[in-house]
Structure 1
């Protein structure tokens, strides 16, 4: 018992000591604009992968560290570079796969940032920069925890470790499933930790137990062969913008709840969460009311939502007295856990076809579906994770549902059905991932690193 206690305390101390170096390395990663979207400099994604590879090698934990990519199915393309590092388990110990991603979202309107997006800046206990939270912090939690484990135990541990740092998660993980298939033997694990979610708040950790799926597609609405003068024909000829507005309005009822037949709802209890908290975390002004019905978290975790994320139509600066012949929109639906994304997409497409006004022609393209996820919370890995989070944060974790989606988890489940999957993260509700002024709460990072190091130490004592 004394030996186990001393190991535990040694890892905890090493984790605390690892934080400054991990934050410094995180800052260096944030400086690399590793955007994997089309049209951006993919040499920066390669540069980021090389930086992560060097960090993994320097831990001294792995037997092999490589940069690999995979084919994008049904194309001639290769996916973005990922880092894959492996260490074999010994003496009957489990293997853990640690996942995060090193690519980041585009910065959007740089004028909205209070400091340069790729210059890490500390203000009021937070580190600001694109990728500071999502998900280069996840990368550095893994690296920092491995450093702490080795600092405390030397090479005297038997846990198997695989590290998979993806390079295209924000751009859709197009080669992810192929990468899993190509590298199945190296990635196969008893426990998978996906460090790409969030926590209840800056102090309270969480195990994500449900994620909504997503169905995203482009819709073209066409009513005319060509543009026409609105004064000459307005009032008799439907223009595409009017038809689009009327059509999209049918997706929601008067409360703003989704009104599409065939989109499912999950029946599950949610913790207390006030409207005041929602306003604070989402930036909802006092004069704007929330949408939907039932508890706030049930709307976010367990019900579908539909968001219009883009539109191609005449801009205000180019407005003229013209009937618009066609409009293109991007619709993003979040799908309740338990319903397949393809089924949800078919329900949406059927609804839109049935409600197209004035005989408008509809065209659906760029359909992208990703299924949601429900965690089996009865496994030993979840119990070990909860104990490690409580030790690392000093606060008992909560089970968290997330309204967002991590579609590639379905690929992990399919490729590794025997693995226990844990979804954790370093973000708090004020991280503003994907938005201007993305940031990382520094104390949350410190606790997350400690918790993961303690989880690794705990798994190293488990014999399968």
Structure 2
């Protein structure tokens, strides 16, 4: 059946690429995901899936596991998520998960082609979200379309779900709401993130914070004697990077021994100043902080606040303590056992499709897999296409890798739904 399955995947590949183009063409930055979700809904319905809209409130979540809700100005009314399921009743055996939100593309002039205008060249599809992670929706639909051809009764006894969530890039609240509010659970979850056809099994903790630095303003003629809020903030960021380097030595992550900087500090945004010839009074630094898997987000927040407070107290240029505010992700690290049935069987499916076992790895970042693993004890793994320049200029995905990933996923689903259970 495998050769028949591969032929079906090849036959439907162009449909999958066109579907991906339609997704990229629908901008879906945080708060404006609905147009892209509707593209997904139409594709799922065309394959005979039942599609349910799951309401997504813009109100701040009180759940201690939640990230901090984005500013209201970014959020449109009537937001929702989508769950597509095969016909029938009962629990889901496997859930495919994908996030429809993408990061902004605020410098379109730097792109070779406009970021939300999909462009094929050199074997890749370019566009914001083409890799991260709209490619995953193309992989899932390609595998399911091919399975519909060669095994039309595969999902007759047990059900499969395909969940499209929002806010993965900034809070994780989309997947959390699907679990806590809607009860969308399964025996196993495959998140179709771009993993270069490897198996991503773990990640570090991630915290988003804003640091507000305030000092006295003054005329530019006294710039050499005035404390500049931007300069002070940069000194704080440098201190956080030193703290992070120390953390790597004092709290090493065994699964990430090969990583140069698993707990990376990233300065993502800076807002300051109102006049070129004025020393700025205030500055806000938006920082992403990585932290050890053994820590809770609350402990990480405490450590970060202590580090900032101690540094500012020892530097007389700080007239007052900087204010630290949580702004988004409050993600605990996670790790799936590399010997779990999910890793074993997805790896076996990949080896059957491509003649070699996939790489099994962890990253100094996070995914929604943490919520399934940490909070609901559901095995979850990330697997997907080969992407380039994720979050960057000229983001792209290798089209061939969508086909290759679909071959692995289709074999895995065929194995799971033929046996009807997860073997130990």
Shift of 1:309: 1.2
Go from structure 1 to structure 2 and tell me whether the alpha carbon gap of 1:218 and 1:121 turns closer, same or farther (over 3 Å shift): same
Corresponding residue for residue 279 of structure 1: none
Shift of 1:385: 0.2
Corresponding residue for residue 366 of structure 1: 326
Corresponding residue for residue 23 of structure 1: 17
> What is the total number of aligned residue pairs between the two structures?
402
The reply on whether 1:267 has 2:254 as its aligned counterpart is yes
Shift of 1:215: 0.9
The reply on whether 1:49 has 2:49 as its aligned counterpart is no
TM-score by length of 2: 0.86
Is the Cα contact below 8 Å between 2:83 and 2:163 reproduced in 1? yes
Corresponding residue for residue 131 of structure 1: 129
Hey, what's the Cα distance between the residues in 2 that align with 1:174 and 1:120? 28
Shift of 1:175: 4.4
Corresponding residue for residue 235 of structure 2: 246
Corresponding residue for residue 118 of structure 1: 116
Shift of 1:440: 0.7
Shift of 1:422: 1.7
For structure 1, the 5+ residue unaligned runs are 1-6, 200-204, 271-296
Go from structure 1 to structure 2 and tell me whether the alpha carbon gap of 1:59 and 1:352 turns closer, same or farther (over 3 Å shift): same
**Deviation sequence 1:200-222 (CA, Å, 0-9, x none):** xxxxx311122122111000111
Hey, what's the Cα distance between the residues in 2 that align with 1:50 and 1:245? 43
Go from structure 1 to structure 2 and tell me whether the alpha carbon gap of 1:140 and 1:263 turns closer, same or farther (over 3 Å shift): farther
Shift of 1:405: 1.5
Residues 73-152 of structure 1: matches in 2 within 5 Å? 73-74=59-60, 80-87=79-86, 95-152=93-150
The reply on whether 1:313 has 2:277 as its aligned counterpart is no
**2:292 pairs with one of 336, 340, 362:** 336
RMSD between aligned alpha carbons? Answer: 2.7
Hey, what's the Cα distance between the residues in 1 that align with 2:105 and 2:256? 36
**Deviation sequence 1:72-131 (CA, Å, 0-9, x none):** 4537987732111223679x9971000012222221201111012122211111111112
**Deviation sequence 1:434-455 (CA, Å, 0-9, x none):** 1110101111111011111111
Go from structure 1 to structure 2 and tell me whether the alpha carbon gap of 1:146 and 1:14 turns closer, same or farther (over 3 Å shift): same
For structure 2, the 5+ residue unaligned runs are 62-71
Hey, what's the Cα distance between the residues in 1 that align with 2:137 and 2:303? 37
Corresponding residue for residue 324 of structure 1: 280
Q: Secondary structure at the match of 1:411?
A: helix
Shift of 1:25: 1.3
**1:423 pairs with one of 378, 382, 387:** 382
Go from structure 1 to structure 2 and tell me whether the alpha carbon gap of 1:329 and 1:262 turns closer, same or farther (over 3 Å shift): farther
Hey, what's the Cα distance between the residues in 2 that align with 1:309 and 1:233? 26
Is the Cα contact below 8 Å between 1:193 and 1:422 reproduced in 2? yes
Hey, what's the Cα distance between the residues in 2 that align with 1:380 and 1:257? 34
Is the Cα contact below 8 Å between 2:251 and 2:292 reproduced in 1? yes
Q: Secondary structure at the match of 2:186?
A: coil
Go from structure 1 to structure 2 and tell me whether the alpha carbon gap of 1:374 and 1:127 turns closer, same or farther (over 3 Å shift): same
Corresponding residue for residue 193 of structure 2: 196
Corresponding residue for residue 3 of structure 1: none
Hey, what's the Cα distance between the residues in 2 that align with 1:59 and 1:261? 48
Corresponding residue for residue 172 of structure 1: 171
Hey, what's the Cα distance between the residues in 2 that align with 1:355 and 1:216? 19
Hey, what's the Cα distance between the residues in 1 that align with 2:364 and 2:248? 20
Shift of 1:325: 2.0
Corresponding residue for residue 66 of structure 2: none
Corresponding residue for residue 292 of structure 1: none
The reply on whether 1:401 has 2:367 as its aligned counterpart is no
Shift of 1:232: 5.2
Hey, what's the Cα distance between the residues in 2 that align with 1:410 and 1:93? 21
Go from structure 1 to structure 2 and tell me whether the alpha carbon gap of 1:145 and 1:365 turns closer, same or farther (over 3 Å shift): same
Corresponding residue for residue 293 of structure 1: none
Q: Secondary structure at the match of 2:345?
A: helix
Go from structure 1 to structure 2 and tell me whether the alpha carbon gap of 1:443 and 1:307 turns closer, same or farther (over 3 Å shift): same
The reply on whether 1:216 has 2:214 as its aligned counterpart is no
Corresponding residue for residue 287 of structure 1: none
Shift of 1:137: 0.8
Q: Secondary structure at the match of 2:288?
A: strand
The reply on whether 1:14 has 2:22 as its aligned counterpart is no
Shift of 1:65: 1.1
TM-score by length of 1: 0.79
Go from structure 1 to structure 2 and tell me whether the alpha carbon gap of 1:33 and 1:372 turns closer, same or farther (over 3 Å shift): same
Q: Secondary structure at the match of 1:400?
A: strand
